[in-house]
Amino acid sequence: MSQTRTFAVHLLRFTGEVTAPLRLPPAAGAALRGALFGALRNQFCLAGSGPLCGQPELARDCPVCFLLAPVEVHNRRGQDVPRPYALRPPSSAGKTYAIGESVEFELATFGQALSHFPYALLGIQEMGRQGLGVGRAGAFRLAEVWAADPLAGRQERIYRASEPTVRAPGLPVGWDQVSAEARAIASAGGGRRLRLELLSHTRLVVGDRLVKPDSFELRFLLGRLLERLEALFGRYGAGAPGFDASALIAAAGRVTLSERRLVWRELFRASGRHGRMVPMGGLLGEVVLEGELEPLLPWLVWGSLTHVGKDAAMGNGQYRLEGLA
Q: What is the average pLDDT across 43-59?
A: 68
Residue ranges per structural domain of the chain: 4-160, 175-323
- What residues contact residue 275 under an 8 Å CB cut-off, 6+ apart? none
Q: What is the pLDDT of residues 278-300, one digit of tens each?
A: 999 999 999 999 999 999 999 99
Torsion angles phi and psi, residue 209, rounded to 5:
-125, 140
pLDDT at 241 over 90: no
pLDDT in tens, 179-190: 999 999 999 999
- Across 145-171, average pLDDT: 95
pLDDT at 54 over 60: no
User: Which pLDDT score is estimated for 2?
Assistant: 44
With pLDDT > 90 as the criterion, what percentage of the chain qualifies?
A: 74
User: What is the pLDDT at residue 41?
Assistant: 83
**How far does CA 256 lie from the centroid of its chain?**
27
Using alpha carbons only, how large is the chain's radius of gyration in Å? 19
Q: Residue 69 pLDDT > 80, yes or no?
A: no
Residue 44: in which H helix or E strand, if any?
Answer: helix 28-44
The sign of the CA dihedral 155, 69, 40, 31 is: negative
- One DSSP character per residue, 221-237 reads HHHHHHHHHHHHHHHHS
Q: What is the pLDDT of residue 81?
A: 78
Q: Specify the fold of 175-323.
A: Alpha-Beta Plaits (3.30.70)
Choice between 292 and 46, residue whose per-residue pLDDT is larger = 292
Determine the pLDDT at residue 221. 98
* Residues facing residue 193 across a β-bridge: 290
Q: So what's the pLDDT on residue 91?
A: 80
Query: Taking a C-beta distance cutoff of 8 angstroms, is the pair 260, 291 a contact?
Result: no
Q: Three-class SS of residue 152?
A: coil
Alpha carbon of 322 to those of 63, 88, 96, 97: distances in Å?
Answer: 37, 20, 32, 32
List of residues 6+ apart from 320 with CB closer than 8 A: 196, 197, 199, 304
Mean pLDDT rounded to a whole number for the chain: 90
- pTM of the shown model: 0.92
**In the predicted structure, residue 75 carries a pLDDT above the cut 60:** no
The stretches of 146-217 forming alpha helices (DSSP H) are 175-185
pLDDT at 154: 97
Neighbouring residues of 22: CB distance < 8 A, sequence distance ≥ 6: 96, 97, 103, 132, 133, 137, 138, 139, 140
Q: How far is CA 267 from CA 62, 91, 242, in A?
A: 32, 14, 35
